[in-house]
Structure 1
């Protein structure tokens, strides 16, 4: 199983989909409880949702393996992203439902975690960094867009219903103020979806680590409530619902391109 696929585009925009993968190697699946083998906490269909962005010239990187193998949007040293709040770690041992992923006594140990970081985490991040470097060298500035999705209700992580669109820029540290303002304005002008900017989801490790606006890399995360483009129970992709939110995402991506091209 390859760690990732990378489509190299022709525009200063890289879309990273670190939780799109759902594959679990057989040796790891054998240690997991049966419900976890479905990888239910996958960001289902985000690759399909963002496929239109290739037409904008965007590069797209996505993994094959599930976040249950290793979470590519967590730091390799395992430190918390949201201290004091519930979250899953570098190698999760519980599902978003709170149920255990592994059978008793089969949980990953330090050696296992280190091996997963080497086999899955590091190759993805090397490729991500290299592609950002290529695009920045060619265009002078590049935007990294982190595409995520999650169930609209996850009591372990947040109270009540999640807003439809959750824009995160590490409280403004990962992207230029002008770009954040332009993206927020897109959300403010529409009435179809609820939204938050730097609310519960401020951007994960990738957004925070790679977002260096003073060095020519702006990073933005969009956490999308899954009911806006799929059925959360069956995991079925709903093209008509997806088409509506794709229009809004497309408008935001165009602002990203305009921003990068303006230097």
Structure 2
């Protein structure tokens, strides 16, 4: 199976979907324990939720599961949230802090997965961002996620409904961030926050270069 699916549009927005995939190669699946094989930390139905919402948007979707390797983590393995509980490049636990492996991956396994899965996903994102920016002079990467609202291992209390991340304003122009925040704030019956517990993963931090006309924001 190809590690990434690309659906091209003719507009300036690229929707990134690093966590909707459920593909796990058989040799990796055999190493997961029963809990891990449940794939509980999938961003379920995100590709269905966004389908058709923005005509002309390009979609770049990882087909592999985050337990194979997390496409939204720094490939160097450096934590995106130092000092806080999180999951790594190849998670050893799920979001509840429970082990997911019978046979954890070796450093060689991780290196192979970076080459086979992580790098192709980000190469596809980069190619599409370059393409739409060449056509429009600007590119906006909107990184699409979902997560349970209550996960004590990762954060206290209950998350707002909409969690906007721009790494404290460094990954996109304030005009874009403000426009997204305004829509969320005006959504009746829903709560929102910008740069709260989730400030944007490696995708937004790596691809967001607002000074060059390349903007990235995580939802």
> Which band: TM-score by shorter chain?
over 0.9
TM-score (norm 1): 0.82
1:74 aligns with 2:73: yes
User: What residue is the counterpart of 1:17 in the other structure?
Assistant: 17
Distance 2:38 2:50 in 1: 22
User: What residue is the counterpart of 2:127 in the other structure?
Assistant: 130
Does the 8 A contact of 1:33 with 1:101 survive in 2? yes
Distance 2:183 2:124 in 1: 31
User: Alignment partner of 1:148: what SS?
Assistant: coil
Distance 2:46 2:180 in 1: 20
**What's the Cα RMSD here?**
0.9
Unmatched tracts of structure 1, length 5 or more: 223-263
Distance 1:85 1:147 in 2: 22
User: What residue is the counterpart of 2:148 in the other structure?
Assistant: 151
User: What residue is the counterpart of 1:178 in the other structure?
Assistant: 175
1:120 aligns with 2:117: yes
User: Alignment partner of 2:21: what SS?
Assistant: coil
Q: Of 208, 211, 228, which residue of structure 1 is paired with 2:205?
A: 208
Q: CA deviation at 1:181?
A: 1.5
Does the 8 A contact of 1:24 with 1:37 survive in 2? no
Equivalences for residues 28-107 of structure 1 within 5 A = 28-53=28-53, 56-103=55-102, 106-107=103-104
Distance 1:148 1:41 in 2: 11
User: What residue is the counterpart of 2:214 in the other structure?
Assistant: 217
Question: Comparing both structures, which one devotes a greater share of its residues to helix?
Answer: 1
Does the 8 A contact of 2:185 with 2:191 survive in 1? no
Q: CA deviation at 1:29?
A: 0.9
Q: Of 181, 188, 213, which residue of structure 1 is paired with 2:185?
A: 188
Does the 8 A contact of 2:140 with 2:216 survive in 1? yes
Unmatched tracts of structure 2, length 5 or more: none
Distance 2:149 2:181 in 1: 21
Q: CA deviation at 1:57?
A: 0.4
User: What residue is the counterpart of 1:257 in the other structure?
Assistant: none
TM-score (norm 2): 0.98
Equivalences for residues 162-173 of structure 1 within 5 A = 162-173=159-170
Q: Extract structure 1 runs of 4+ deviating beyond 6 A.
A: none
User: What residue is the counterpart of 1:225 in the other structure?
Assistant: none
User: Alignment partner of 2:95: what SS?
Assistant: coil
User: What residue is the counterpart of 1:108 in the other structure?
Assistant: 105
